[in-house]
Amino acid sequence: MGGGTLIFPDLGKHCQHPGCNQLDFLPFECDGCQKVFCLEHRSYELHECPNDRKSRKVVVCDKCSASIETTGRDGEDKAALEKHERSNDCDPSKKKKPRCPVKRCKESLTFSNSATCKSCNIKVCLKHRFPADHVCEKLSSSTAVPAKGASNNSKFLAALAARSGKECAKNGRGSVSPPSTPHSVKAC
């Protein structure tokens, strides 16, 4: 079947679907049957290709969340699931996705949103990737780090409380009352 026009006889091809025969200037060649089709009949289903090898479908197992590839033909999905369930690959304990071990964190861990702590080798979500954000065993066993952090915090509070209210009064922002406890500070 030739295509094209009188001026360009090699331009385009006719659709080989029975009853169509449309001249298409950008035809599609089927991988399965090696015939030429227009845009409307290019899919395997629409031209009823006998060699439908590229059509695939993925079915997810309800028990273990494994994905099973099928060709998508009628009835094959159920047969593939039954075969998977009979095999040793179907393990319901695999269904649970790993979660962040930090208390009250419900983030599921995937390859893109997880980090492994270099101190304690625990896999946590990105929100808790720093040792101070999760209960890091190395951090809690080392008493120097928390004491240093706590002493810096108390030093800051003590220095802020010891300030006189003169600076705030000069700016007209108010005054600081003397603190009732060493950790309470009234802001300007």
Q: How far, in Å, CA of 47 to CA of 40, rounded? A: 9
42 part of a folded domain = yes
Element (H, E) at 123: strand 123-125
Please calculate the CA angle 14-16-20 and round it to the nearest 5 degrees. Answer: 80
**Residue 64: CA atoms inside 13 Å, Cβ hemisphere, count?**
16
158 part of a folded domain = no
Q: Give pLDDT, residue 152.
A: 63
Q: Which domain holds residue 79?
A: 57-94
Whether the full predicted model's pTM is greater than 0.75, yes or no, is no
Condensed to tens digits (0 to 9), the pLDDT of residues 173-184 reads: 555 555 555 555
85 part of a folded domain = yes
Range list of H helices, 17-136:
76-86
80 part of a folded domain = yes
The model's confidence at residue 85, banded by pLDDT at 50, 70 and 90, is confident
Residue whose structure tokens are 């295509």: 3
**Domain total in the chain:** 3
14 part of a folded domain = yes
Statement to judge: residues 67 and 106 lie in one domain: no
Count CB neighbours of 26 within 10 A. Answer: 8
